[in-house]
Structure 1
Amino acid sequence: MGRSAYIYPKKGGIQLEKVKELLSYFQQITTKTGEQLNWKYDDRAFPYTIEEKVDEELGSYLLLKGKDENYDHLLIGVNENEEDGYVQITLPESATHGDKGKGNELAKFLAKKIKGNLKLFNGRVMPF
């Protein structure tokens, strides 16, 4: 498996459903930005389709599949433990430069909305 970024909420746990809601919100606001600019910005801002998957070992997670050749896929999972839960965004070995850039952007967006500490793919920590 590739590299991962982690978001640790400052208080309380986090659920996969909340992450799905935040990704949907991200898509909505980027679509509105595109409409204001009269440009199909949403296709570039969120170049993925979202599928919820279930694995016996991993549990439920989100598979973000790229819509074009610049993006392969990202995986987003959640440890839903009430006290020390976290969101994990994983770049698989097949990830492109586009996936890494978009993974960083989505990680920062989610960390800001969740109000948590973000440990980026390169190990750097950013508080939100």
Structure 2
Amino acid sequence: MSDHAYIKLVKKSTQQDITLEELKDIFKYYQTITTKTGDQLDWGYGDAAFPYGISEVPDSDDNWFYLKSNGTSTRYKYIVFGVGKETIEDSEGNETLQSYIQVILPEGATHGDKGKANEFCKFLGKKLQAEVHLFNGRIMYFYKR
């Protein structure tokens, strides 16, 4: 089940560029808010909402990291995240660089991973006001059009 999704930072996004460290900070923020929600509900929602730990990919040139299951459930294994730039052509024919976040479900990923990856894509899209290209080919627009 190797599959890809993209979060593209368009002109109307809250930021035009993103680094791997900024992406990791967003995931730490996600962990914090879900843990606080769990505290309010007196339930371990933080562990259920984010059943992963952030792991580095050796020799990735700071372009990739992966979320590896923390072992609390067999429903989850791993999701890979990367950042990059692509050249796009705008409506006037000018070429510009556009930053994106790539989400990869590698071979061996579970359906639980795919569900969480979709959830994370939507969260990142809302947080960054970006254009999200989901695994099924659909596009969601979280920026003002």
Is the structural similarity TM-score above 0.5?
A: yes
Provide, for residues 49-93 of structure 1, a one-character-per-residue CA deviation record: whole Å limited to 9, x for no partner. 10122435x753111001231101000000056831100011112
Unaligned runs of 5+ in 2: 87-95
Are the equivalent residues in 2 in contact too, given 1:79–1:86 (CA < 8 A)?
Answer: yes
Give the Cα separation in 1 of the matches to 2:135 and 2:46: 24
**Identity over aligned residues, as a percent?**
48
CA contact (8 A) 1:15 1:80 kept: no
Among 39, 50, 53, the alignment partner of 2:57 is: 53
Q: Map 1:79-90; keep pairs closer than 5 Å.
A: 79-80=84-85, 83-90=97-104
C-alpha distance after superposition, 1:8-39 (max 9, x if no partner): 01232221111111100000000000000000
SS, match of residue 53 in structure 2: strand
RMSD: 1.8
**Count of residue pairs the alignment pairs up:** 127
Is 1:28 the counterpart of 2:42 in the alignment? no
Structure 1: give runs of 5+ residues left out of the alignment. Answer: none
Candidates 68, 74, 78, aligned match of 1:73: 78
- Which residue is 1:7 aligned to? 7
User: What TM-score do the two structures reach when normalised by structure 1?
Assistant: 0.91
- Partner residue of 1:101? 115
More helix by share: 1
Contact kept, 8 Å, 1:14 with 1:80, in 2: the verdict is: no
CA distance in 2 between counterparts of 1:95 and 1:19 reads 21
